[in-house]
Structure 1
Amino acid sequence: MSRRSVSVALVFPLLALLLLVSDSPYPALPGPKRDAPRAVVALGDSTMAGEGAGSYEPGTNGENGNWCHRSTKASVHHTRVEGVDRVFNLACSGANAEQVGLTDQVRNTEGSQARQLAAIAREYRVSVVVVAVGANDDPRFADVLGACLRAWIERRVDCAKAMADEWKARVERMTPKVERALRDVRRVLQDEGYTPRSYTLVLQSYAAPVAPGLPFDLQNLAGCPLRTGDLQWVRDEAVEQLSEGLRTAAKAAEARFLDLSKAGEKREACTGGDEMDQEWFTRLTIDFDGLRDEARARHALQESFHPNDRGYEQFGRCMSEFLATTAREASCVAGEDGNLTAVEAED
């Protein structure tokens, strides 16, 4: 029998098989439909949620115990990505790396952000995932600022001296937890049919909210009640070391990294003096109405020393620039016009 005859003999059975199974197609592959709208998703803690900017989404401003404080002015709402149709902010004030990843832990009445991401990834084509997390893990940055505030009130030795020795160790313990959270995000998207190249995963660090050199008449309860030595330590050491730990986590999880440690330079809380509109961070902020309500009183200082709406707008601007490049790493610094710009890291 000739080769042509053999080929024809094999083709007819294959055609018959295709006709037989045509009414029972293979199950659809996981993931969204090919024409699904594209989305950017934000995960993380207060810095990503938008704490300090006000305009909080209904249900996240203390209702039924939810204090996530997700703001409509958060940086993700200022992040522009070509072709994206929807923005989802799953970040929650107080969240740690475990809550961002796959966990049964519940915080602020909400569970795993990675699992929430999975639900979105089935309906939308997730193009970008931006993450800010780590400060609420071992570093407990908000507690450290609280300790420095108490040191000012009690006129004790600079709290920086008490923190400096253990801070590096705290950051080192945090780093693998953030890496694990990033890997959980990748695992969730892989389970939903995404490949690593089909989306961008970015970890951003934190900006220093305070700095030395502020007007003396604001170095008190009227603005920024922190001792000069503590202000300098927060800016020059604490935030820098925190960023280094996060950079290590991003590299290990093969995520891109945006360094915000210098993003607030000369725009920190209280540095503007009488011109508060020049600052990108909130000063000491007290919810006096909340103090009258037992359920809200413990959150009366929650907005203090977080970025404000101007700060989040600038962070979103810088993230937009970064996402428009192929750089693995960049830093947000002020350009000649005073706005933040993404400067690619040198190899």
Structure 2
Amino acid sequence: MTPSLPRLVRIPLLFVGAAALTVVAVGVVLAAPPLTGRAQAAVPPDDPRPPVVVALGDSAASGEGAGDYEPGTRGEGGNHCHRSPAAYVHRTTLAGRGVNLACSGADTAQVGTGGGVRYTERSQTARLTDVARRDRVVAVTVQVGANDEPDLSGTAVACIRAFLHPLEPGCRTSVGPTWAARLAAVGPRIEGVVRDVRAAMAAAGYVDTDYALVLLSYAAPGSEAMPAWHGVQGCPYSRPDARWARTEAFPALAAAIGTAAAHTGARFLDLTRVAEGREACTGAVRDEWQRRLSVDPAALVAGTLGAAGMRLFQESFHPTAAAHTAIAGCLSEFVPAGGSRAACVPARDGRVHPEVEA
């Protein structure tokens, strides 16, 4: 059953100058009570350290598929975190600089504290403390959960397998019945990451109202609006499966992430509809905001791509550089507006803007 969508109201566009940014840094999450339980002094508003925005999370935040990757994350020494200069954290107007700690393939354990190593890198929240001591962190974004129980990559493979083998059930049938249970399992893990972020920031001398903490959901990559007789290259999945993903699977995942935000006092920005009308295979490639499948679908399903091929597959069905720019613009409006939750929705001006529930 498709979740009902709330009525949305546009947040007015705010032009944020240096003075307004100071307000963001010290008071944007007044509705969120401190979770540390310890008395601390707030970071002084005249803190001379340079303001930064920090992104934590998986490939959706790192910029997988958005273009070239930063040196040191292209595979050197085994590091395939694939952090792109085009990632949204580098394109917001919330601070002079973005710091991208996200890593392709990371799950909640690897983003949180004590979860081991991902591509040679230690916990993202542990490194957040280092950044917060060096710089003045005004906002932290967290986009995680896709690589835990929801297993979006595995779900995509199930959809592709069904398209290549028409006698097999579609992924809406093979995966759909387990979706609610998967989301129920990942919700507490995401809440744990938020608590780890709060603890990491507290260890650097911050209280919760010193910075904005925003959980983000994931943009639906495909749509049933693609041509009826499309081939196996680019978007090898059926239109009914694409409709299920767009109208049920991704909205339900967003709802689970939104619930985790509500339970922990974080703010929530729903990205489900960011690429609406610009999904993979719905128009000219140059106009799409989601990457198409980048590998041979038969080899993917057969498991014969090898390690290099699977890393190339990771780029598939991820936001393009244009999409990251749109997300950054929406995030830049949402944070200073001060609301607890909103959805990034395409508008007539060609951009996406945050709209809040009425």
Measured against the shorter chain, the TM-score band is 0.7 to 0.9
- Quote the residue 1:204 is aligned against: 216
Q: CA deviation at 1:153?
A: 1.1
Asked whether the equivalents of residues 113 and 124 of structure 2 are also in contact (C-alpha less than 8 Å), the reply is yes
- Quote the residue 1:345 is aligned against: 357
* Equivalences for residues 249-260 of structure 1 within 5 A: 249-260=260-271
- Quote the residue 2:150 is aligned against: 139
- Quote the residue 1:64 is aligned against: 77
Using the size of structure 1 for normalisation, the TM-score is 0.85
Identity %: 43
Give the match's secondary structure for 1:203: strand
Larger Rg: 1
| CA distances 1:135-182 after superposition (whole Å, capped 9, x unpaired) | 111100111001111111122221211111110100010000000001
Q: CA deviation at 1:33?
A: 9.5
Asked whether the equivalents of residues 43 and 210 of structure 2 are also in contact (C-alpha less than 8 Å), the reply is no
Higher relative contact order (CA 8 A, sep 6+): 2
| CA distances 1:193-229 after superposition (whole Å, capped 9, x unpaired) | 1011111100010110001020245x33322000122
- Distance in 2 between the 1:70 and 1:211 partners? 27
- Quote the residue 2:58 is aligned against: 45
| Counterpart among 277, 285, 288 of residue 276 in structure 1 | 285
- Distance in 2 between the 1:293 and 1:152 partners? 18
Give the match's secondary structure for 1:233: helix
Q: CA deviation at 1:324?
A: 2.2
- Quote the residue 1:190 is aligned against: 202
- Quote the residue 1:242 is aligned against: 253
Q: CA deviation at 1:107?
A: 1.6
What's the C-alpha RMSD, in Å, of the aligned pairs?
2.3
Give the match's secondary structure for 1:286: coil
Asked whether the equivalents of residues 31 and 194 of structure 1 are also in contact (C-alpha less than 8 Å), the reply is no
- Distance in 2 between the 1:29 and 1:322 partners? 23
Asked whether the equivalents of residues 187 and 260 of structure 2 are also in contact (C-alpha less than 8 Å), the reply is yes
- Distance in 1 between the 2:244 and 2:313 partners? 22
| Counterpart among 263, 270, 278 of residue 267 in structure 1 | 278
| Counterpart among 32, 48, 52 of residue 35 in structure 1 | 48
Segments of 5+ residues of structure 1 without an aligned counterpart are 1-27
| Counterpart among 179, 189, 194 of residue 177 in structure 1 | 189
- Distance in 1 between the 2:255 and 2:356 partners? 16
| Counterpart among 309, 312, 315 of residue 300 in structure 1 | 312
Give the match's secondary structure for 2:185: helix
- Distance in 2 between the 1:318 and 1:259 partners? 10
Give the match's secondary structure for 1:299: helix
Q: CA deviation at 1:60?
A: 1.1
Is 1:285–2:297 an aligned residue pair? no
Change (3 A) 1:32 1:325: closer
Amino acid across the alignment from 2:47: R
Change (3 A) 1:32 1:46: farther
- Quote the residue 1:157 is aligned against: 169
- Distance in 1 between the 2:221 and 2:305 partners? 28
Give the match's secondary structure for 1:318: helix
Asked whether the equivalents of residues 49 and 74 of structure 1 are also in contact (C-alpha less than 8 Å), the reply is yes
Asked whether the equivalents of residues 65 and 291 of structure 2 are also in contact (C-alpha less than 8 Å), the reply is yes
- Distance in 2 between the 1:337 and 1:58 partners? 35
Q: CA deviation at 1:30?
A: 9.5
- Quote the residue 1:330 is aligned against: 342
Q: CA deviation at 1:317?
A: 0.9
- Quote the residue 1:124 is aligned against: 135
Asked whether the equivalents of residues 128 and 199 of structure 1 are also in contact (C-alpha less than 8 Å), the reply is yes
- Distance in 2 between the 1:195 and 1:311 partners? 32
Segments of 5+ residues of structure 2 without an aligned counterpart are 1-40
Asked whether the equivalents of residues 32 and 121 of structure 1 are also in contact (C-alpha less than 8 Å), the reply is no
Is 1:215–2:230 an aligned residue pair? no
- Distance in 2 between the 1:105 and 1:231 partners? 35
Give the match's secondary structure for 1:298: helix
Change (3 A) 1:31 1:220: farther
| Counterpart among 320, 336, 339 of residue 332 in structure 2 | 320
- Quote the residue 1:94 is aligned against: 105
Using the size of structure 2 for normalisation, the TM-score is 0.83
- Distance in 2 between the 1:159 and 1:200 partners? 37
